[in-house]
A = this chain, B = another copy of it.
Amino acid sequence: MTNEELFGAAVVQSWKQITGRFDKAMAELSDEQLQKQVAPGKNRLFYLLGHLTAVNDRLFPLLGVGERMYAGLDEAFITNPDGKVASPVSAAELRKAWSAVHAKLTAVLEGFTAEEWLQKHTAVSDEDFAKDPSRNRLAVVLSRTNHLSFHSGQAVLAK
């Protein structure tokens, strides 16, 4: 592997580790347990699962690698806090959406060359990217991996 390839591989490995742990934690819970709050008055696990699915589903257009799979989740899981808008999907459907989004995303990330990692994300203009090449796909994926870790830390408190 070249140095560039080693960098890309480390980012993918980190992404897979964090998504894999959250995936395992959710798989071990019943649908009923998903209704537990991570702390009194805080988000339910069900909300976190929906939130992370919806936020990461947005990565497809943000990385410029395709269309979203589940745009219908945003109102319940991004735009509004937990409990404001009923989920448009059942727990079984939400688990399926989580799995589908992350399986597809991981495959995309595994396929990125170093050049592709360093291409701009779609929320930045060509002009701004020329001034600041750090606004690339890599930065977005590192940020989303940290976002997933952030909510994973909350999810374990519900145990």
Contact = CB atoms under 8 A, between A and B. Distances in A.
A104 interface: no
Contacts of A4: 3-4, 7
A149 B6 CA distance: 23
A96 interface: no
Interface stretch (A35-43, A55-63, A66-74, A86-94): A35-43
A24 to B, nearest CB: 15
Interface stretch (A26-34, A75-83, A122-130, A139-147): A139-147
A149 B8 CA distance: 21
Contact of A146 (B9, B117, B145): B145
Interface in A100-159: 114-115, 117-118, 133-134, 136, 138-139, 142-143, 145-147, 149-154, 157
A139 to B, nearest CB: 5
Count of chain copies: 2
B117 A13 contact: no
A114 B7 CA distance: 9
B3 A118 contact: yes
Contacts of A136: 6, 10
| Chain B CB within 10 Å, residue with most, of A13, A39, A136, A152 | A39
Contacts of A17: 143, 146
Contacts of A147: 149
3 tightest CB-CB pairs across the interface, nearest first? Answer: A39-B39, A150-B153, A149-B149
